Amino acid sequence: MSEQTVFRPPRRRGLIFQIGAALTFSSAGGLAFYMSMEQDIGLNFILYLLVALIFLAPVPLIVYRAVALGRATYQLEREGLRLRWGLRVEDIPLNTIEWVRPAKELGYHLSQPRFSWPGALLGLSHIAELGTVEFIAAESDNLMLIATPSNVFAISPANPRAFMRAYQRTSEMGSLSPMAAFSAQPAMFMRNMWRDPAARFPVLFAIILTLTLLIATITIIPARPMVSLGFDPSGKPLPPVSGEKLLLLPTLSGIVVVISISIGLFYYRHEDQRMPAYVLMAGACLTPLLLSFSLLFIK
């Protein structure tokens, strides 16, 4: 396959925006969490912790979309068009493509999907003249519309003119053996994973263990106003600190669980890599389990 048939979306502005947003939300969430650690257990502590969770919650989605943008491709072959954007995969046989047009030439108002931002125009949007359009694009300036009998896709190759020339050249050659139509969506991927007991139970168990650790930590803090959280190089306990610092344990556990499950899901996409995925998901249970036992020895 020649390089001229592989097109990528514009990435610079989207990556800058999404990396900046991830750093901003992470910093704000981290600051709010730090402020919660400075409060006594009470209303202020809960409010700061809630603010931290609100800022940190969208970070995994932003990071996923940034990684997906960096790896996204539109691959045009004689047999059809392959769209790759993170977990979103679409293979369109060439003989099912009815037309390809730059969005600006059609004169339609294309409203963007909800929860879209620079570098991530993803999702469905209803256009009066076209019906439902699925966006798999980075920016709105260079949108190309691809119509099939059942769907209309909006993509954004960085060089729309080169993409159009390549499509015209490919369509003139014709397809000797059209590729099989295939569609995979993140929601479908998660449903398939959830139906697999070997993947579902470790994920549930890791979440339950982390929540149990959080509840146990909050319960014992009033009984331990001062605690030592480690040892110095000579083996002596570190100076005692406020008991609220124990909340670092469920926080650390949550971070490790999210990272382990995320990496496990990355490997789970491929059937020949399911075993490493299972090991990583099962390993996500180890950190909250060990930290829960550690509470028994904290003085």
Residues 278 and 295 in one domain: yes
Please give the share of the chain, as a percent, with pLDDT higher than 90: 37
Residue 225 has pLDDT above 80, yes or no: no
What is the structure's pLDDT at 2? 41
Residue 222 lies in a domain: yes
Closest CA to 118 of 275, 22, 11: 11
What is the structure's pLDDT at 227? 73
Cα angle 284, 289, 294 (rounded to 5 degrees) comes to 135
Residue 170 lies in a domain: yes
Residue written as tokens 């605690």?
Answer: 227
- In this prediction the pTM is 0.75
Structural domain ending residue among the three candidates 163, 185, 207 = 185
What is the structure's pLDDT at 279? 92
Residue 1 has pLDDT above 70, yes or no: no
What is the structure's pLDDT at 75? 93
Residue 2 lies in a domain: no
Q: Is residue 181 very low, low, confident or very high in pLDDT (cuts 50, 70, 90)?
A: confident
Residues 101 and 149 in one domain: yes
Residues 211 and 193 in one domain: yes
Residue 68 lies in a domain: no
Residues 174 and 196 in one domain: no
Q: Total structural domains in the chain?
A: 2
Instruction: Quote the DSSP letter at residue 117.
Output: B
Residue 34 lies in a domain: no
Residues 227 and 215 in one domain: yes
Range with the lowest mean pLDDT among 36-50, 132-146, 252-266?
A: 36-50
Structural domain ending residue among the three candidates 140, 170, 185 = 185
Residues 207 and 275 in one domain: yes
What is the structure's pLDDT at 7? 94
Residues 95 and 202 in one domain: no
Residue 52 lies in a domain: no
Residues 230 and 181 in one domain: no
What is the structure's pLDDT at 99? 92
Residues 147 and 217 in one domain: no
Residues 236 and 284 in one domain: yes
Range(s) of the domain holding residue 289: 186-299
Residue 139 lies in a domain: yes
Range with the lowest mean pLDDT among 83-97, 134-148, 214-228, 269-283?
A: 214-228
Q: Is residue 232 very low, low, confident or very high in pLDDT (cuts 50, 70, 90)?
A: low
Q: How far apart are CA 163 and CA 127, in angstroms?
A: 23
Q: What is the CA radius of gyration of the chain?
A: 25
Other Cβ atoms less than 10 A from the Cβ of 286: the count is 15
Residue 237 has pLDDT above 80, yes or no: no
Residue 74 has pLDDT above 70, yes or no: yes
Residues 232 and 262 in one domain: yes
Residues 209 and 220 in one domain: yes
Residue 1 lies in a domain: no
Closest CA to 255 of 284, 281, 218: 284
Structural domain ending residue among the three candidates 137, 154, 185 = 185
